[in-house]
Amino acid sequence: MSTSMELTAAAPAVPAVADNGVWLACIECDETFAPFAEIRYTCDHCDGLLEVRYADPPTFDDFEGQGVWRYAAALPFDEGVSLPEGDTPLHHVPRLEEEIGIKRLRVKHEGMNPTGAFKDRGMTVGVRVAQELGVGRLACASTGNTSAALAAYGARGGMETLVLLPAGKVASGKIAQAALHDARILEVDGNFDDCLDIVQELAMAGEVYLLNSLNPFRLEGQKTIGLEILEEFMTDHGTYPDRIILPVGNAGNTAALYKCFRELVQSGALDPADVPKLTGVQAEGAAPMVEAIEEGNETIRRWPDVETIATAIRIGNPVNAPKALPGIRATGGTAISVSDEEITDAHRALAGEGVGVEPASATSIAGLRKLRDHGVVGADEQVVCLTTGHLLKDPEAAFEAGNDPESVPDDAEAVLDHISE
């Protein structure tokens, strides 16, 4: 394992540490900041991304209880506004495992969180931080799922919520959630990246508290996906998975999983040789991360025009790339893109195992298939694929990929005739 697995987490000499041994650090210049004294999303000095650091990184013995807050020892608080979230199933999918031809395949279905996507894990922590900061209005740009989670957790926490969505590009289930949980919904004539630019300006002007994954506290909650996978895989199989494959949009989850592993390595809880290979999958029409990995670039090139049926990852400027690219490289993982047709095939294949997901989620399985075909993933590998959102998020895509309803007369005999045709 390369040295980039290490976190420089000696507490800073300047007292930027909060009471609970937490501080913020710039990933580019290492400047440190007190976490809750004022609102800050990026480094004052170099504009770099911030990450949360701890005086005592967690070990597995520190964890107790259920859901995301089981992992309080890895989080900046002991509890938060909870619906509750986490504890999602790790499905066995025997037909897919055999068809793809690997030793072991498990599907971690994050669509089983309270609002139907993994965003809830980050939001429970992010809204707790918003309470600490005393802010009243929460906001995000979203391809849909962040807005649903923000609206629900904001409602539970008694806060006002504002969401910016790319007009006509958000699946209906997600807008329905944001609407009913009482978010103010602004539809922007632009794509997700444009929405994020605008909401960042509103945040910088102090109008709203930003809860996109640019907010480093969101990623803290999302680390718990990795903690659950490691604990459950070890309990069930006496080992850790060789590889975790996940859909990539803003690359927040990729960054969060990498951070989860680094903290465990740092505390001595995880052997660097046991760190799963982080493997990201994007849609062909929105694949700046894949491009950077394939070309060996340090930074991503922003794609101005993006298109895919996987609307949740229809993103051309993944803000967490500076955190995620090193994670893919340091763990020996890779990144691959898949076509909309390959996504739809995987969408159906998962449904055929009883696992109902939205299109973006199916990219992990589509990517695994392709990597296995190319011989990048070996037959002896144990793999966990992340499915990020629930089938009901995007009913239109499900209708499109699934069977058409058939009209029949109101008559049993005619129905019998019809089904025996």
Ligand X SMILES: *Cc1c(COP(=O)(O)O)cnc(C)c1O
Residue position matching structure tokens 């997600």 = 174
DSSP assignment of 236-274: HHSS--SEEEEE-SSSHHHHHHHHHHHHHHHHTSS-GGG
Cα separation of 355 and 111, whole Å? 10
- The end-to-end CA distance of the chain, in Å, is 60
Out of 67, 252, 288, 327, which residue is the one contacting ligand X (CB under 6 A)? 252
Residue 389 makes contact with ligand X by CB under 6 A: yes
* CB of 48 vs Zn ion, minimal distance in Å: 4
Of 17 and 203, the one with the shorter C-beta distance to ligand X is: 203
Residues recorded for the chain: 421
Of 46 and 55, the one with the shorter C-beta distance to Zn ion is: 46
Interface pattern 12-31 for Zn ion (x via CB under 5 A):
--------------x-xx-x
Cα separation of 355 and 348, whole Å? 9
Of 225 and 265, the one with the shorter C-beta distance to ligand X is: 225
Residue 48 makes contact with Zn ion by CB under 5 A: yes
Of 75 and 319, the one with the shorter C-beta distance to Zn ion is: 319
Q: Which stretch binds ligand X (CB under 6 A): 8-16, 296-304, 329-337, 355-363?
A: 355-363
Residue 322 makes contact with Zn ion by CB under 5 A: no
Using an 8 Å Cβ cutoff, are 337 and 287 in contact?
Answer: yes
Residue 253 binds which of Zn ion, ligand X, none (CB < 5-8 A, kind-dependent): ligand X
Q: Which stretch binds ligand X (CB under 6 A): 67-75, 128-136, 156-164, 242-250?
A: 242-250
Using an 8 Å Cβ cutoff, are 173 and 116 in contact?
Answer: yes
Residue 397 makes contact with ligand X by CB under 6 A: no
**What is the CA angle 218-9-331, rounded to 5?**
70
User: Judging by beta carbons within 10 Å of its beta carbon (0-12, 13-18, 19+), is residue 54 exposed, middle or buried?
Assistant: buried
Out of 35, 249, 285, 316, which residue is the one contacting ligand X (CB under 6 A)? 249
Q: Which residues of 95-116 are buried (b: 16+ CB within 10 A; e: fewer)?
A: ebbeebebebbbbbbbbbbbbb
**What is the CA angle 280-286-292, rounded to 5?**
55
Residue 45 binds which of Zn ion, ligand X, none (CB < 5-8 A, kind-dependent): Zn ion
Residues from 48 through 77 that contact ligand X (CB under 6 A): none
Residues from 357 through 376 that contact ligand X (CB under 6 A): 358, 360-361
DSSP assignment of 130-198: HHHHT--EEEEE-SSHHHHHHHHHHHHHT-EEEEEEETT-S-HHHHHHHHHTT-EEEEESS-HHHHHHH
Q: Which stretch binds ligand X (CB under 6 A): 61-69, 177-185, 191-199, 243-251?
A: 243-251
Q: Which stretch binds ligand X (CB under 6 A): 40-48, 162-170, 354-362, 411-419?
A: 354-362
Residues from 299 through 318 that contact ligand X (CB under 6 A): 312-313
Cα separation of 228 and 90, whole Å? 9
Residues from 151 through 180 that contact ligand X (CB under 6 A): none
Residue 28 binds which of ligand X, Zn ion, none (CB < 5-8 A, kind-dependent): Zn ion
Distance of CA 299 to the CA centre of its chain: 20
* CB of 30 vs Zn ion, minimal distance in Å: 7
What is the contact surface with Zn ion in residues (CB under 5 A)? 26, 28-29, 31, 43, 45-46, 48
What is the contact surface with ligand X in residues (CB under 6 A)? 117, 119, 145, 213, 247-253, 312-313, 358, 360-361, 388-389
